[in-house]
Amino acid sequence: MWNRKNLVAAVLLSLAMGGASAGECVLQVTRTACPSMEKESFAKCDGKANCSETVPAATASQCAVKAKAGCSNKRLDVTKYKKVTAAYDGAAVEGGKDFCVGHPEFPHATKPDCK
């Protein structure tokens, strides 16, 4: 029934399935819209200022990289600021820090408008 070949194949399959599984990386994104641009800015979160997104990551470090990449902002006249925090397997990544602080794509973050 279980010859050596089948046993080795079963063990390898089991290891591959368990070893290759990534942990859960959840990015919590909160957007601050430019004045009168809430609809456009919040569209990526189904019309809400904040939402979460699960992304693939094998480690907490990879989750942090994904969080930092989530700070990208090409709509400078629409989204004034974005706060991105991350959790990996339920634990806050890097103490729950906002990965967007100091990001160069938010030049209007401390201004009352987006000009």
| Domain boundaries, given as residue ranges, for the chain | 21-115
Would you say residue 36 has pLDDT above 90? yes
**Per-residue model confidence (pLDDT) at position 5:** 52
Binned at pLDDT 50, 70 and 90, residue 91 comes out as very high
> What number is the average pLDDT over the span 9-34?
69
pLDDT of residue 22: 75
Side-chain-facing half-sphere of 101: CA atoms under 13 Å: 5
pLDDT number for residue 7:
40
Tell me which residue of 59, 83, 63 sits closest to 73, measured CA to CA. Answer: 83
Q: Is the pTM of this model over 0.85?
A: no
| DSSP conformation class of 34 | P
Q: Return d(Cα 46, Cα 31) in angstroms, integer.
A: 12
